[in-house]
Structure 1
Amino acid sequence: MRYRPEHKAEVHQKIVEDASRRVRAEGLNGAAVAAVMRDTGLTHGGFYKHFESKDDLLLESLSEAFRDIGDTLVRVAEQSPREAAWKAIVRAYLSLDFSDHPERGCPLPALAPELTRVGKKMRGQIFPQLVNYKDRLVPFMPGRRAAEKERAFFVIFSTMVGAIEIARMLPEPAMREKVLASVRDFLLSSF
């Protein structure tokens, strides 16, 4: 059976998207090659037609995760008045939806501890993705100058990542919402 020329690229993208969701939901080991390929309807052996190694899959899945959440947050910001864009980002990020569905959320709360333990080479390959994520969102942050906006980004995002990590540990939705609301209110009144 002959496939359309774009078939391989479409299958590759499906694999990356599934791995991206799995990595955010289950950690770096969640993107087990056999599971990802099974979810895509392919065999384990077909993996090497798309990737040279599992690290390549992980890097592409992380890139997809940062692109996905970046697109979501940029869209939220662009739909808000310019001066309120950063507040819209905070409200979206510190939501029960992002907390309760890590597979759709930011990869940082899900993976930060694991990413600090990956090898130096892989960390070096992840770093540009982090910089790109920051660069996409800094323009929406509070502040007049670029340095003020970047400082606000680091404070706001570090706080939000920690809040999501803590909220995800809590068993009850009401407890999670209390943490998220407290941090949301604090950030929105601090800048």
Structure 2
Amino acid sequence: MKDASRRVRTEGITGAAVSAVMRDAGLTHGGFYKHFGSKEELLMESLSEAFQEIADRLAQVGEQSKPETAWKAIVKTYLSLEYCDHVEYGCPLPALAPEMARVDKAMKPRIFEELKKYRSRMLPFMPGRRTADKERAFFSIFSTMVGAIEIARMLPEPVMREKVLASARELLLRSF
């Protein structure tokens, strides 16, 4: 499922052909319908895998840091040029947010559940003493990071991408 998830992040929800995603998941056409009820089911499983993969990676970075600086290590990892240049391994938010906003209404609650799991996984690493403070920090930090990655990925030169990422990193690291 990791390969299918990476294809969806790379090609988008609407761009990823079901046949290619099925092949990445190791499924035949017949096997697809035994395992999934619809293309939406396959896409949700791919999104779930993507959120889990990035949450695991960022949590590992946070766990390897001192508790008071864990969020800074997460910011530095997320806003790196290496991360920016490899959409297939990154957070599904900068890769797919506009498409996720336009999915069928039936999928939105399921995407929301994935977002809640992601937030819950990141919350322990966020700055703040109270849960409400950590939640505010999460939304501010991740909104800024997602936007910076989206803008940086549009730019043709690594130097330009790094400038955007460095600006967001510096802003975040000074702000909390």
Question: Number of aligned pairs?
Answer: 176
Query: 1:46, CA displacement in angstroms?
Result: 2.7
TM-score with structure 2 setting the length: 0.95
TM-score with structure 1 setting the length: 0.88
Larger radius of gyration: 1
Identity of aligned residues (%): 71
Matches of 1:51 and 1:39 in 2, distance apart? 14
Matches of 1:37 and 1:130 in 2, distance apart? 24
Contact 1:102 1:110 in 2 (8 A): yes
Query: 2:123 matched to 1:144?
Result: no
Query: 2:176 matched to 1:187?
Result: no
Over 3 Å counting, the alpha-carbon distance change for 1:63 and 1:122 in structure 2 is same
Query: 1:122, CA displacement in angstroms?
Result: 0.4
1:112 counterpart residue number: 97
Matches of 1:92 and 1:77 in 2, distance apart? 10
Matches of 1:40 and 1:139 in 2, distance apart? 32
Contact 1:33 1:44 in 2 (8 A): no
1:99 counterpart residue number: 84
Contact 1:65 1:106 in 2 (8 A): yes
> What RMSD in Å do the two structures reach over aligned CA positions?
1.2
1:67 counterpart residue number: 52
Query: 1:87, CA displacement in angstroms?
Result: 0.1
Runs of 5+ unmatched residues, structure 1? 1-15
1:47 counterpart residue number: 32
Query: 2:69 matched to 1:80?
Result: no
